[in-house]
Structure 1
Amino acid sequence: MKTLVVGASGATGKLLVDQLLAAGQHIKIVVRPTSILPDHWNNNKHLVIIHKHITEITIEEMAEMLSDCGSVASCLGHNLTWKGIFGKPRKLVADTVTLLCKAITKNAPQTPIRFVLMNTAGNRNKDMNEPVSMGQSVVIGLLRLLLPPHPDNEKSADYLRKEIGQHNDHIEWVAVRPDTLINEEEVSEYALHQSPTRSAIFNPGKTSRINVAHAIARLILEDKLWNTWKGQMPVIYNENGQVG
């Protein structure tokens, strides 16, 4: 079975595709027609590239794309530009999560599809009643009001928690929450935690993008790891998680 990756042209998405290709996985990716992709993806027999704006894909079209897939990963995010942060679509990630889930449900697969969402440590897992300081609550409230990508991240995870839940016949999910993202060349030691072990605002850790990609690939490919974390929102830190 194949894996569908959305957000594959992004900094983490590219690394995820490479991780899956290295593991011998067959992959489909949906990327913008103008996306610049690595040269080594060209003519790769394990990779199908679909050039289309994700916002223009119907549920029926997405259901067809997913018809031979056993897993889905979303590494979508907003570009760190004025247009990317404040322009449309403001609910890019949440709308795409909804689209994917509705398409999966339409297909009604006999074996649940594994759905991995890249999220953020700044988003609480409300199923866990995670404690947050008053100061962090104030800052997060301001981010929610002033920076559209933050509520988009919240809504995307909330859709999985509330609408899909823990006992869906067709979808199982994990929302991976990295802290401050950094670039590293190689996979290093990292750990998954049920909840944040530090404040994402006042005492952030760091997570290399390649470690996030490696963790998502393992979740897709390894049954034991999947069964440990399905229906949860693990936070991922580099083993040496200090910033600076």
Structure 2
Amino acid sequence: MTVLVVGASGATGRHLVEQLLLQKHRVKAIVRSPEKLPALWRNNDALQMITASILILSDREMREYCQDCHAVMSCLGHNLTWKGIYGQPRELVTEATRRLCDAIKANNPEQPVKFILMNTTGNRNRDLNEPISFAQKCVIGLLRLLLPPHVDNEKAAEYLRTEIGQNDPLIVWTAVRPDGLIDENEVTKYEIHPSPTRSAIFNAGKVSRINVGHFMASLVSDGDLWKKWKGQMPVIYSK
């Protein structure tokens, strides 16, 4: 399959690309800084690197890069700097999600395209009415006021949940919610749940970035896994 990855140069995006290549997919990777990427990527015929900032692309370019893709995957996030958190674009993830979905629809694919978004356990799946404590509600309220990236993550998932929904003829989606991200060198055992099994604020779990990349790539490769989690917001923890 051919897969478009945005945010491919990020800490998790790089693992996602590597896992897709290991699973024998063809990958189009949109990156802003290709010099930071592994040298081996430049000599891989299955990988097309596109040097661009996602929101600077024209609608025509966006449609071109989405053309013939069976899946579009986003590992976009905000840099943990003052400018990255409070500067523009404050809705990087949401706007990229919206524009990519518009491009997919404009291409009118013969089969629905999978859209897989990396999100966060700090965001609730409102389709399931996930309960959280009063204290956590207060903290999340503060995060919405103080940290624009949190609001951006919420809006991106809500766009898929409410605007694309469960019955779109051209796009099917899932929003993967990792808990506290850590670095590991190898894929290890991990577990997937429909909702958090612990507080994302007061008792957060851990998951390696490579495990997140492996699970997201497997959603493309494994039809049964996709059927289980499409239209949902699965939570991933390392065991």
Q: Could you state the TM-score of these two structures normalised by the residue count of structure 1?
A: 0.96
CA distance in 2, matches of 1:212, 1:73: 12
- Runs of 4+ in structure 1 off by over 6 angstroms are none
Tell whether 2:101 aligns with 1:101.
Answer: yes
Contact kept, 8 Å, 1:33 with 1:53, in 2: the verdict is: no
Aligned to 1:195: 195
Q: What are the residue-to-residue correspondences of 1:160-175 with 2, within 5 Å?
A: 160-175=160-175
Aligned to 2:88: 88
Question: Structure 1, residues 16-56: CA drift from partner, whole Å, max 9, x if none?
Answer: 10111111110001111565111110121000011111111
Aligned to 1:64: 64
Tell whether 2:144 aligns with 1:149.
Answer: no
Alignment length, in residue pairs? 239
Question: Letter of the aligned partner of 2:7 in structure 1?
Answer: G
Q: What are the residue-to-residue correspondences of 1:20-169 with 2, within 5 Å?
A: 20-33=20-33, 36-169=36-169
CA distance in 2, matches of 1:149, 1:10: 15
CA distance in 2, matches of 1:44, 1:201: 41
Alignment RMSD: 0.9
Contact kept, 8 Å, 2:9 with 2:33, in 1: the verdict is: no
Give the 3-state SS of the residue equivalent to 2:70 in structure 1: strand
Give the 3-state SS of the residue equivalent to 1:186 in structure 2: coil
Give the 3-state SS of the residue equivalent to 2:43 in structure 1: coil
Contact kept, 8 Å, 1:9 with 1:35, in 2: the verdict is: no
Question: Structure 1, residues 114-153: CA drift from partner, whole Å, max 9, x if none?
Answer: 1110000000001110001100000000000100100000
CA distance in 2, matches of 1:171, 1:60: 19
Structure 1 unmatched runs, 5+: 240-244
Question: Letter of the aligned partner of 1:160 in structure 2?
Answer: L
CA distance in 2, matches of 1:184, 1:48: 26
**1:58 Cα offset (Å):** 2.2
Contact kept, 8 Å, 1:121 with 1:177, in 2: the verdict is: yes
State percent identity of aligned pairs: 59
Structure 2 unmatched runs, 5+: none
